[in-house]
Amino acid sequence: MTKKIKVLTLSDHPLSPSGVGTQTKYMIEGLLKTGDYQVVSLGGAVKHQNYQPMQTEEWGEDWKIFPVDGYGTPDVIRSVLRNEKPDILWFMTDPRFWGWLWQMEDEIRPIVPMVYYHVWDNFPPPKYNKNSYDSNDVIVTISKVTDAITKAVTDKPDVIHHPHAVDTEIFKKLPEENVNTFRLGSMGEDEKNPDRMVFFWNNRNARRKQSGTLIYWFKEFLDKVGHDNACLIMHTEPRDPHGQDLEHIIRELKLDQGQVMLSREKVPPAGLSMMYNMADCTINISDAEGFGLATLESLACETPIIVNMTGGLQEQVTDGEEWFGIGIEPCSKAVIGSQEIPYIYEDRLNKEQFLESLENFYNMSKEERAELGAKGRNHVLKNYSFNAYQEGWDSILKKVHETHGSWQSRKGYETWRQEEL
């Protein structure tokens, strides 16, 4: 019997609803379906009720999940490497979280290859990340923007473009009768205008996502079209330490009579699909967005999108010929950063641009919106195939294993050594 390839994954908890967690789960399940892999996951970036190792009923011993704070520590990595002896270390999310891991390169890479699934938002290329990028055997990029940025910084590791995916068997257009029933239950029987337009926002309540700004600007839109003619549903945590107090903003702006509604309960993918179906349009005006999974899920449900033309959102709203919603060109760039991260550029919209886009969408006919939605789903099926995503990871990781080996069969990496003078 051929020995299974064991992959150690570091990312958001793969059973969490975050975009990073969801894509990690999709990849892992695709690998396990082949019967050629075992997976050990360090599940981070969430609050844990306990730290007991867990398994899923479907995959048993082939998939172990160890809850960790943050994304782990050097001692945790050393322990897992020693006890589990993986063949590949795979990790994903913003490079700002992985400095400590790359500093362990001389401990990790002599025994197993490092594969980084890279998320980066915007130009200019972060040349200060070159040493970090060079500490990997392979970098896989989530968008064309991230791919171009990475290749502009380094030519040392292999760089492979492999975008996110959506399960289109779950995220799809649902029967209108079911959607109407769900909407009635969500909005309440005292809904003043059952035909009012529903805008949906599904994001983390973080500063760069512009959650508070969205509410403020949406009020001006309502003042123009009528407070009974449209509403905004925000699926998020209203009070996130990295964001704003959305409940307070809504009360202060007197939008607490159904104009802006908060959905804070975590729902399974099927429930989220229903929410996209209930909406007429999904919005993302983030200043920076590596990919933006929510808008892709929305398109799969044939719900058009309004987005800032930044990062991976650019590839979702248009394929260069057709449009699947409204893309707003940024009016300016801002530079943010820290002592560790010298610069990151953010793409900023202005209020007038956004209000014009809302009004343009609001004035579209139902048929025009339906045409955008249908084209959007075809775009997802063509470019973000769920099967292609899973098969692609299988191909990438098998090639990594064949090319780079692990432990006694490790190839393509030379440890540095001090020579005597």
DSSP state of 61: G
- 298-311 pLDDT per residue, tens: 999 999 999 999 98
| Residue 190 scores a pLDDT above 60 | no
Residue 189 has pLDDT above 60, yes or no: no
DSSP-assigned letters across all residues of 51-97 = ---EE-TTTGGGEEEEE-SBTB-HHHHHHHHHHH--SEEEEEE-GGG
**What is the rounded end-to-end Cα distance, in angstroms, of the chain?**
49
Largest Cα–Cα distance in the chain?
Answer: 85
**Is pLDDT of 323 > 90?**
yes
The SS3 of residue 379 is helix
User: pTM to 2 decimals?
Assistant: 0.89
Radius of gyration of the CA atoms of the chain, in A:
23
Q: What is the pLDDT of residues 27-80, one digit of tens each?
A: 999 999 999 999 999 998 887 788 888 999 999 999 999 999 999 999 999 999
Nearest alpha-carbon partner for 281 in 306, 301, 258: 306
Q: Which domains does the chain have, with CATH numbers?
A: 5-165+385-409 (3.40.50.2000), 176-383 (3.40.50.2000)
* Average pLDDT score over residue span 11-38: 93
- Quote the percentage of the chain above a pLDDT of 70: 97
CA separation for the pair 206, 286 (Å, rounded): 9
Q: Are strands 138-141 and 114-118 parallel, antiparallel or unpaired?
A: parallel
Report the distance separating Cα 13 and Cα 224, nearest Å: 43
Which tokens sit at 419?
A: 């020579």
Q: What's the mean per-residue pLDDT of the chain? A: 92
